[in-house]
């Protein structure tokens, strides 16, 4: 897989952004020239895109980053898809560029919900006519958030293979059961470990207490649903395993400093494209 190198000592230049939702399953990406970088963040369906003599298949929960190369991009297969997209530019890398970071051209997004929230925040700033400096800073935040997620999700060499497997299994279990009120004792029993030992092991691997991690994943999902859907807050509370709307709102405000309604209203402007 191709690895892209980007400068790390300066902000990126915002070009334009939006959210796309295919009108039908017969949609195919049109033939467009690409003069700058383009980031795709897939939220639904599959995108089939050809660029620079290479075909890419991008599924929900994945990203694709295309570099400028004086080429055209176009769909090579029809399918329903929905995604956020962002065009940005960077100064060309030279021999004197000393501070850089790298990103795989395509991959899974460890925390899709958080990426979507940042993309939505950028759109909100565009719609509210924020100055160029703010748009460039937010664009840089989106790209470096992806880099940070991939960096933190990379295997930790100092941990044993058994510890890495336990960590991965716990993450998968939490994600599959976000719709319930997950107890640490339940996770420990499921994997056959002592509750205190498992909590200590997870905190040692991640630096975050297991209970706090579960809540943070629920809040990431809540942020996603509050900004990317029109679901009633009561439905969101149920989908995340809270007994009622009041308990959800109280937990949400304690975690974010805002009520769910305040957060949703803060990012209420949407830039939706159907072409």
The pLDDT tens digits of the residues spanning 74-127 come to: 999 999 999 999 999 998 776 666 688 889 999 999 889 899 999 999 999 999
What are the backbone dihedrals phi and psi of residue 96, each rounded to the nearest 5 degrees, phi first?
A: -85, -5
Question: What is residue 253's three-state secondary structure?
Answer: helix
Count of CB atoms within 10 A of residue 210's CB?
Answer: 21
Topology classification of domain 161-266: Arc Repressor Mutant, subunit A (1.10.10)
Mean pLDDT within 205-223: 87
Q: Looking up tokens 């009520």, which residue turns up?
A: 259
Question: Where do the H-state alpha helices sit in 30-160?
Answer: 112-127, 132-153
The pTM of this model reads 0.74
- What gap in Å lies between CA 259 and CA 118, rounded to an integer? 18
The pLDDT tens digits of the residues spanning 32-46 come to: 899 999 999 999 999
Ranges for all domains in the chain classified under CATH 2.60.120.280: 3-152
Alpha carbons within 13 angstroms on the beta-carbon side of residue 255 total 21
The pLDDT tens digits of the residues spanning 152-173 come to: 776 555 566 677 788 888 988 9
Q: Looking up tokens 């996770």, which residue turns up?
A: 187
For the domain spanning 3-152, the CATH number is: 2.60.120.280
* Nearest of 31, 126, 131 to residue 87 by alpha carbon: 126
- Top pLDDT among 142 and 209 is at 142
DSSP letter string, 97-126: ---EEEEESEEE-TTHHHHHHHHHHHHHHH
User: Does pLDDT of 51 surpass 80?
Assistant: yes
25 within 8 A of 75, measured Cβ to Cβ: no
Ranges for all domains in the chain classified under CATH 1.10.10.60: 161-266
């Amino acid at each position: 897989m191709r690895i892209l190198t980007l400068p790390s000592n300066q902000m990126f230049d915002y070009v334009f952004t939006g959210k796309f939702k295919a009108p039908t399953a017969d949609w195919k990406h049109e033939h467009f020239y690409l003069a700058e970088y383009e980031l795709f963040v897939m939220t639904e369906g599959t995108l089939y895109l050809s660029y620079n003599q290479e075909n890419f298949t991008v599924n929900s929960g994945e990203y694709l980053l295309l570099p400028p190369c004086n080429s055209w991009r176009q769909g090579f297969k029809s399918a329903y898809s929905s995604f956020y997209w962002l065009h940005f530019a960077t100064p060309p890398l030279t021999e004197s560029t000393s501070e850089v970071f790298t990103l795989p051209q395509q991959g899974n997004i460890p925390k899709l919900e958080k990426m979507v929230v940042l993309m939505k925040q950028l759109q909100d700033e565009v719609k509210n006519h924020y100055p160029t400096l703010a748009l460039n800073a937010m664009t840089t935040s989106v790209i470096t958030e992806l880099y940070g997620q991939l960096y933190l999700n990379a295997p930790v060499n100092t941990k044993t293979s058994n510890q890495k497997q336990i960590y991965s299994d716990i993450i998968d279990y939490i994600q599959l059961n976000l719709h319930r009120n997950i107890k640490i004792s339940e996770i420990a029993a499921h994997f056959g470990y002592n509750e205190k030992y498992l909590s200590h092991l997870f905190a040692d691997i991640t630096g975050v207490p297991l209970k706090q991690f579960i809540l943070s994943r629920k809040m990431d999902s809540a942020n996603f649903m509050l900004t990317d859907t029109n679901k009633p807050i009561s439905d969101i509370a149920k989908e995340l395993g809270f007994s009622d709307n009041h308990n959800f709102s109280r937990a949400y405000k304690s975690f974010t400093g805002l009520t769910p309604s305040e957060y949703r209203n803060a990012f209420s402007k949407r830039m939706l494209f159907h072409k």
